[in-house]
Chain A
Amino acid sequence: MKPIENGGPWLGPLGRDADVVVASRVRLARNLAGFPFTNRASTTQRRDVVSMVRDRAQGAAWGRMLGWIDLQACPAEQRTQMVERHLVSKQFAASDAPRAVGISADETLSVMVNEEDHLRIQAMYSGLRIDECFAAATAFDRGAESALDFAWHHRWGYLTACPTNVGCGIRVSVMLHLPALRLTSELDRVRRAAKDLHLALRGFHGEGSEPMGDFYQLSNQITLGMRDEEVVGELRDRIIPQVIRYERLARETYRSKAPAAARDRFIRAAALLTHSRLMPLDEAMKLLGRLRLGIASGLTEAIDSTLVHRLLLQVQPAHLALARPSDPMETLEQQSAARATLLRDALAPLRASIG
């Protein structure tokens, strides 16, 4: 895998609405006809699925851009890095069955083979770029279906192991930074509204993860009875703009009600990040979130959000080890020390600016 400076789909240009939106992702779930789904497939069948998908992709224009990684032969640290970069799911990295992932050079496209479904095609871009994600995932999907038979049912559409993905198999998710909605206790209202609209609001790493640093993934839950274009359009045109508006409004309210507190929160976060000698992961995420809000609110020009995004990734354990290869990392304390050093170094311009 490439060093983080060169890759990582959400380290690209910030784009519009970057004050709230971090990254966009579209995922398509597909299964091969004629094989049991991953949960019922034998080791041999799983191996066959991997080689079939990989071989057909490697020999064709639609799939040649993927470089393949056999997860069984992949060191644990690299698997964790892929999870931290959102290229593969946690469960996928942890399983010990035959499985593989194909990743494009710029890491915007990744295809997990033998996750819950045989294929999980995922496209990810920084900023609010759902359309580009959809186009990239769909291009691969259409190419793949010219060479592979996908499981299909005349009533249920594309078949998936879990009933939640049946139909068009699409999940659109947008990673949002919503600190002000949480500060003004409006997040529960958003969560309820999301539920009513059949959307899920999840933590930083998606399904089953805790919110860290006020980062949330908002995604569709319905994949049946709606065209994939409709799912994309609804999130892009209706839902995401509304959440962005709410968050901006909450930021305005917070700033106008308590301008000194808003500034103090930012300065404290900056001070801790630029002076601490030990920095646990959850605290780093929380403080980086506050830094990001400060940048979006114009409280500093010493650094920009791209740096914060890179640090959000680099403070994760496997990337930390990659960024500081000579630091000892055996204990949590050693990790915290390495993380603190990394943050102090990277945020030196900020330290100078806050005096």
Chain B
Amino acid sequence: MKCDQCDKPAVVHETVITAGVQTTVHLCAEHAAAQMHHVPASAPIAELLAAHLTGQRHQPACGGCGMTLAEFRKHNLAGCSACFDALSPVIDQAIQRAQGGATAHCGRAPARRDDAEARQAYRARLLNDLEQAVAAERYEVAAQVRNALREVDGIAGQQA
């Protein structure tokens, strides 16, 4: 089956009830992700999508600190690091709203990161930043990104 919004194969099939009307949606990974704004790889996509489209059939609580969506909405404060994945996509939207639409961090990362996966993600983002900076002819920014990349790769010393 194809995605409702493009020709790619649908990987998400979900029956949702919006305003009392039952519909079934079929979405490819990309469109599902787009509607969610951000889908953490570990989160069950169908469940998140259903919660999103039907207006909280579930109230996901953060496994780290027990924060619920309602509590987060009330105080606009996350309770722990795990909230940032557990309360997605609601927290993603709150962040983007507060941050003038910005969608991801760029810049410095803690030096002590030994999490290889996070480092790879950071590296990928830097490469993307570099591409955009070069395309926009923002060479000063590009130079900064290149420096950050060197830092990540730990080759700054060798090239200096």
Contacts and interface: CB of A to CB of B under 8 A. Distances in A.
A39 B106 contact: no
A158 interface: yes
Contact of A39 (B66, B77, B81, B141): B77
B108 A156 contact: no
B103 interface: yes
A158 B111 CA distance: 12
Central interface residue in A149, A159, A221, A225, by most chain B CB within 10 Å: A225
Contacts, number: 124
A146 B112 CA distance: 6
Contact of A224 (B66, B99, B121, B144): B99
A194 to B, nearest CB: 13
A238 interface: no
A40 B67 contact: yes
Interface in A147-202: 149-164, 166-168, 198
Contacts of B76: 162-163
A92 B80 CA distance: 19
B110 interface: yes
Contact of A153 (B65, B77, B84): B84
Nearest to B121: A154
Contact of A163 (B38, B67, B91, B125): B91
B64 interface: yes
A217 interface: no
A159 B81 contact: yes
A301 to B, nearest CB: 44
Contacts of A149: 110, 112
B107 interface: yes
A31 interface: yes
B38 to A, nearest CB: 7
Given A156-B95, A224-B95, A36 B80 contact: yes
A155 B91 CA distance: 12
A222 B102 contact: yes
Contacts of A223: 99
Nearest to A160: B78
A231 to B, nearest CB: 9
A224 B105 CA distance: 5
Contacts of B99: 163-164, 166-167, 222-225
Nearest to A170: B107
B29 interface: no
Given A155-B121, A161-B79, A222-B99, 11 more contacts: A33-B81, A145-B110, A145-B112, A152-B109, A153-B81, A157-B109, A163-B91, A166-B98, A168-B105, A198-B100, A225-B99
